[in-house]
């Protein structure tokens, strides 16, 4: 394996710009690595080698001609397969969209292209982003690069595993209830769900549109900051995108946490939290304290209902968002000669969707039905409001809230597959940020028997700068003992 692949994005950009290495050389190395490990990792659904190499050559020639290049010039970015790239198959890891080729670029893709990033391939995920392990992909699971028998987390398992396994330098996932932070934690890398609205959702194929954000993944905090800055910003194609003002994240890359006030809710260390995880997170908190931060234990009682609230809202939205997959306009279409439209729709949906997707569509349909709406959907929304209120109250006293990203260590493939509820329980600490629309980051803080453990930090809306700053410090002082198995 080439040393080049271990370099950070900013190091690579400067080497490519100074022609110390060429973008083409680097991209070729990425594909060599991909070919070397993919049979064991399976992080990708589609590789875009021709497009990537063509772009790399173009960037190289522009550099040779002394022309201006973008802030991500030549950097390989893997894209979760629910983000549309014009003319590139986008499947959502579903048979339903197995042959779907979007006629347009997502806004984040336009921004990456304009900054001369290299789109290296589309990554594996739980079907329509519904899952915590990437085992619900209809194209087979992804494996954790630190233990091939274990899951990489999900749903952005391919985006996280590809970065961890050095197949790419950075990647984009999407985070609806922890789908970027979970695999970042399980794969020992950094993932951040930004404030709802910071990054345009235009071109992100919806699972639960009031909760999800396209989210950056990287091996280090500096790269994460770089990627976030490239894709953030208001977009007139997404009415929910917001003007973030001038958050300069690169300026936050300083090792200084003095005076940072941290709240530690005991609910984040509740029943089901693995002791090694609790211990590792508390060590990280102590480390921050040692560096000049202060912390207090707090209570956030509404968090008890966060998971139930999250799943009801997410499934309700999913039941509506996924209604369009009927086979008529795109995606899977079985022979429908002699069937009426309703039967044809049912056949397409029966064959096209996997079991977990069907389960969530059915539960969501139920939760929105007349007679149940008040008891489920509306109640879940009330809980959501309570959580928002309780958190914004807490943020009057604290800059950050800290806890584990995942309550447990990466589990074995198949271990939770037959018990959906146990799988849902894994999201207990991450869904909070999505319900509240606030930013949250997962940073590697320790390991146990070679398996990564991540610490999660949440900040008030649009305070990604605080997250980046504290994450950067943690990264300087905690070096988890991790080793790639590929």
Residue 370 interacts with other proteins (CB under 8 A): yes or no: yes
Q: Segment 238-277, which members bind other proteins (CB under 8 A)?
A: 238-240
d(CA 61, CA 389): 53
Binder among 46, 57, 244, 365 for other proteins (CB under 8 A): 365
Given a contact cutoff of 8 angstroms between Cβ atoms, the answer to whether 135 and 413 are in contact is yes
Residue 378 interacts with other proteins (CB under 8 A): yes or no: yes
Mask 215-244, x = binds other proteins (CB under 8 A)? ---------------------xxxxx----
Q: Which is nearer to other proteins, 44 or 202 (CB)?
A: 202
Report helix, strand and coil shares of the chain as percent, to nearest 5.
Answer: 45, 15, 40
133 is catalytic: no
Q: Which stretch binds other proteins (CB under 8 A): 56-64, 71-79, 370-378, 462-470?
A: 370-378
Given a contact cutoff of 8 angstroms between Cβ atoms, the answer to whether 437 and 465 are in contact is no
| Residues in contact with 265: Cβ distance below 8 Å, sequence separation at least 6, in sequence order | 297, 298, 299, 300, 303, 394, 401, 403
155 is catalytic: yes
Catalytic member of 94, 171, 179, 316:
179
d(CA 303, CA 447): 27
| Residues in contact with 328: Cβ distance below 8 Å, sequence separation at least 6, in sequence order | 341, 345
Least distance from other proteins to the Cβ atom of residue 371, Å: 9
Tokens of 405: 């990203």
Q: Which is nearer to other proteins, 286 or 385 (CB)?
A: 385
| Residues in contact with 61: Cβ distance below 8 Å, sequence separation at least 6, in sequence order | none
DSSP class of 409: P
Per rule CB under 8 A, count of chain residues that contact other proteins:
44
Mask 65-104, x = binds other proteins (CB under 8 A)? -----------------xxx-----x-x----x--x-xxx
Given a contact cutoff of 8 angstroms between Cβ atoms, the answer to whether 87 and 10 are in contact is no
End-to-end CA gap in the chain = 10
Residue 40 interacts with other proteins (CB under 8 A): yes or no: no
Catalytic member of 15, 55, 80, 416:
80
Q: Which is nearer to other proteins, 329 or 396 (CB)?
A: 329
Q: Segment 150-209, which members bind other proteins (CB under 8 A)?
A: 201-206, 209
Given a contact cutoff of 8 angstroms between Cβ atoms, the answer to whether 228 and 194 are in contact is yes
416 is catalytic: no
Q: Which stretch binds other proteins (CB under 8 A): 71-79, 272-280, 311-319, 435-443?
A: 311-319
Q: Is 284 exposed, middle or buried (0-12, 13-18, 19+ CB in 10 A)?
A: buried
What residues are annotated to the active site?
A: 80, 155, 179
For other proteins, the binding residues (CB under 8 A) are 82-84, 90, 92, 97, 100, 102-104, 106, 201-206, 209-210, 236-240, 316-317, 319-320, 323-324, 326, 328-330, 341-342, 345, 365, 368-370, 373, 377-378
């Amino acid at each position: 394996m080439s040393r080049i692949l271990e370099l950070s994005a900013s190091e690579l950009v400067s080497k490519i710009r100074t022609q110390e290495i060429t973008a083409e050389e680097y991209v070729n190395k990425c594909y060599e690595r991909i070919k070397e490990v993919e049979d064991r990792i399976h992080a990708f659904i589609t590789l875009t080698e021709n497009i990537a190499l063509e772009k790399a050559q173009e960037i190289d020639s522009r550099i040779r001609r002394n022309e201006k290049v973008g802030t991500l010039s030549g950097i390989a970015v893997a894209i979760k397969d629910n983000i549309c790239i014009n003319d590139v198959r986008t499947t959502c890891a579903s048979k339903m969209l197995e042959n779907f080729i979007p006629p347009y670029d997502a806004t984040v893709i336009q921004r990456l292209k304009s900054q001369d990033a290299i789109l290296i391939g589309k990554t594996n995920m739980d079907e329509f982003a519904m899952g915590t392990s990437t085992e619900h992909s209809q194209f087979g699971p992804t494996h954790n690069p630190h233990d091939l028998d274990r899951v990489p987390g999900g749903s952005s398992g391919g985006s996280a595993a590809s970065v961890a396994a050095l197949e790419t330098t950075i990647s984009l996932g999407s985070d609806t209830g922890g789908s970027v932070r979970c695999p970042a934690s399980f794969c020992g890398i950094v993932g951040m769900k930004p404030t709802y609205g910071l990054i345009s959702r235009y071109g992100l194929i919806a699972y639960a549109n009031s909760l999800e954000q396209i989210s950056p993944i990287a091996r280090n905090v500096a790269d994460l900051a770089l990627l976030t800055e490239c894709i953030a910003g208001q977009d007139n194609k997404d009415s929910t995108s917001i003007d973030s003002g001038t958050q300069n994240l690169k300026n936050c890359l300083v090792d200084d946490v003095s005076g940072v006030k941290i709240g530690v809710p005991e609910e984040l260390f509740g029943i089901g939290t693995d002791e090694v995880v609790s211990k590792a997170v508390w060590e990280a908190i102590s480390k921050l304290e040692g560096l000049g931060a202060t912390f207090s234990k707090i209570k956030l009682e509404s968090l008890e209902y966060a998971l139930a609230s999250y799943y009801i809202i997410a499934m309700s939205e999913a039941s509506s968002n996924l209604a369009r997959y009927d086979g008529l306009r795109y995606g899977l279409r079985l022979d429908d000669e002699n069937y009426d439209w309703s039967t044809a729709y049912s056949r397409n949906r029966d064959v096209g969707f996997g079991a977990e997707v069907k389960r969530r569509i059915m539960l969501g349909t139920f939760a929105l039905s007349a007679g149940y709406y008040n008891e489920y959907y509306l109640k879940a929304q009330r809980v959501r409001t309570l959580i928002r209120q309780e958190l914004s109250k807490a943020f009057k006293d604290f800059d950050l809230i800290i806890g584990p990203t995942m309550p447990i260590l990466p589990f074995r493939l198949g271990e939770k597959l037959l018990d959906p509820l146990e799988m849902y329980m894994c999201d207990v600490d991450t869904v909070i940020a999505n319900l509240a629309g606030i930013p949250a980051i997962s940073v590697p803080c320790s390991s146990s028997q070679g398996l990564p453990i991540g610490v999660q930090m949440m900040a008030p809306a649009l305070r990604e700068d605080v997250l980046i700053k504290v994450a950067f410090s943690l990264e300087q002082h905690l070096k988890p003992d991790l080793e790639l198995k590929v």
